[in-house]
Structure 1
Amino acid sequence: MTDTRQDLKYTKSHEWVRVEADGSVTVGITDHAQALLGDLVFVETPEAGTEATAGEACATVESVKAASDVYAPVSGEIAEANEDLADAPEKVNESPFDQGWLFRIRPSDASELDALMDAEEYAAMVASET
């Protein structure tokens, strides 16, 4: 059973989203996604200062099985990338919600967050896929 945290929002493409106190948004891939990918061997994160568009690829994760794009859940400026993943991509497998976050974004339109799924909706989607 995969871990789906109640305090997060989720996308159909298996990203989790946490709204921070300063209004920025932290993004990672879900526990379900990292389990499907298997052991990650490489993570490419976006550069701080670049603009991201909701629904467009902005990062890549590679495992021994496959490479997958990671999509921006909202539009905005990349505020920070998790530089630790360059040398330790396995953090995404070991701690997808904490040490394995990928990037932070400053939303240009916070209302885009309303379109994301809550934990129950995401869990139902995952259940329907299996």
Structure 2
Amino acid sequence: MKRVLIFLLFVLTASVLAKDSRINQLFWRKFTPRAMSSTTEAPGEFQKNMNMTNAKEVMDVLNTLVKVQRDQANIINVRDAQSEEFEKKVMNFMDQTTDVLQKLDKKIKMLQRIFHKIASDIEE
């Protein structure tokens, strides 16, 4: 169980890092051409607008990432609870099966003794 949890955390971390680098690449591809092609605005005003736009979009992206991570954490918690419940049910089933098998084994041994006794009585 712990191995699965560690593996899931590793996969989630790797996927978040991969998405983060992809978002960073998309961010630079999206905003770099704008900075080079803008000639109508004053440089300071453009930089201010660019920073405000970037800050809003970066915050939106970060908020989205936070929501995704929260959802992933909730999914992990739900799956963990489900796996614990499943494990309890399996253990309960195994206990019940063991009890039934022990009872059947006792009946088989008793029937074998009866059969051997009847067979020995017939031979005499």
TM-score by length of 2: 0.20
TM-score by length of 1: 0.20
Higher helix share: 2
Higher strand share: 1
Q: Which has the higher contact order (CA 8 A, sep 6+)?
A: 1
Q: Which has the larger radius of gyration?
A: 2
